[in-house]
Amino acid sequence: SDIRENLTYPIFGQAIRELAQTVADDGYEPDIILSIARGGVFVAGGLAYALDCKNIHLVNVEFYTGVGSTLEMPVMLAPVPNAIDFSNKKVLIADDVADTGKTLKLVHDFCLEHVAEVRSAVIYEKSHSLVKCEYVWKRTDEWINFPWSVEPPVVRREGQVLDA
Ligand code: 5GP
């Protein structure tokens, strides 16, 4: 369908504060926020400030190749985080959306083997997600336009370079 959930940067700012508040109200105090790149990096940065957590890690996962088109399974790309950094830590996984939930499950399972505790925070969760995140700002089943990926990458404009 043509229906889209449109997240803007101003609404994103509000969403992050509200998402962080639900984590705080729940009494969860993560030692580490593990972001799933690239979309989860925005979420992790916002949550880290709002929760006063100074330790952000990052894992790159590749899954989606376009609107609604995916690889067969998500894969962690190198460099994979060093599990030793997570030993006996309370981790909060941060991502933009749990859609099929396969990406979050991959990262969650990776963490489970090493950490003291792991929970997940997402802006959006879709009803068919196989992972149920502890912290969700909004539920939708529409395709979401995120402010960081709604526009194509910038391209170089010839003849626009100023002289030094
Ligand atoms: P999952 O593994 O849960 O199916 O998908 C996780 C990743 O796929 C998300 O982190 C996001 O990058 C991408 N993705 C899934 N659903 C959507 C969507 O509705 N809109 C956008 N822009 N990306 C999505």
CA of 18 to the centre of ligand 1 (A): 21
Mean pLDDT of 136-145: 97
| Helix H or strand E segment including 39 | helix 39-50
Mean pLDDT of 121-145: 97
Say yes or no: CB of residue 149 within 6 Å of ligand 1.
Answer: yes
User: Which atom number of ligand 1 is nearest to the Cα of residue 5?
Assistant: 19
More confident residue, 56 or 86: 56
pLDDT above 90 covers a percentage of the chain that reads 78
Q: What pTM value is reported for the model?
A: 0.92
Q: What is the mean pLDDT of the chain?
A: 93
Residue 67: its pLDDT value, please? 66
Q: For residue 117, give the nearest of 94, 84, 87, 83 by alpha carbon.
A: 87
Task: Compute the CA torsion angle 17, 45, 98, 126 (nearest 10 deg).
Answer: 30
Q: How far apart are CA 159 and CA 137, in angstroms?
A: 44
Residue 121: its pLDDT value, please? 98
CA of 64 to the centre of ligand 1 (A): 7
Place of tokens 């509000």: 14
Q: For residue 12, give the nearest of 33, 40, 53 by alpha carbon.
A: 40
Q: In which band, very low, low, confident or very high, does the pLDDT at 108 lie, cut at 50, 70 and 90? A: very high
Q: In which band, very low, low, confident or very high, does the pLDDT at 19 lie, cut at 50, 70 and 90? A: very high
Q: Tell me 16's DSSP state.
A: H
Query: In a 10 Å sphere around its CB, with 0-12 CB exposed, 13-18 middle and 19+ buried, how is residue 147 labelled?
Result: middle
Q: In which band, very low, low, confident or very high, does the pLDDT at 42 lie, cut at 50, 70 and 90? A: very high
Say yes or no: CB of residue 98 within 6 Å of ligand 1.
Answer: yes
What are the tens digits of pLDDT across the range 61-101?
988 776 677 778 899 999 998 888 889 999 999 999 999 99
Say yes or no: CB of residue 39 within 6 Å of ligand 1.
Answer: yes
What are the tens digits of pLDDT across the range 20-36?
999 999 999 999 999 99
Q: How far apart are CA 42 and CA 56, in angstroms?
A: 11
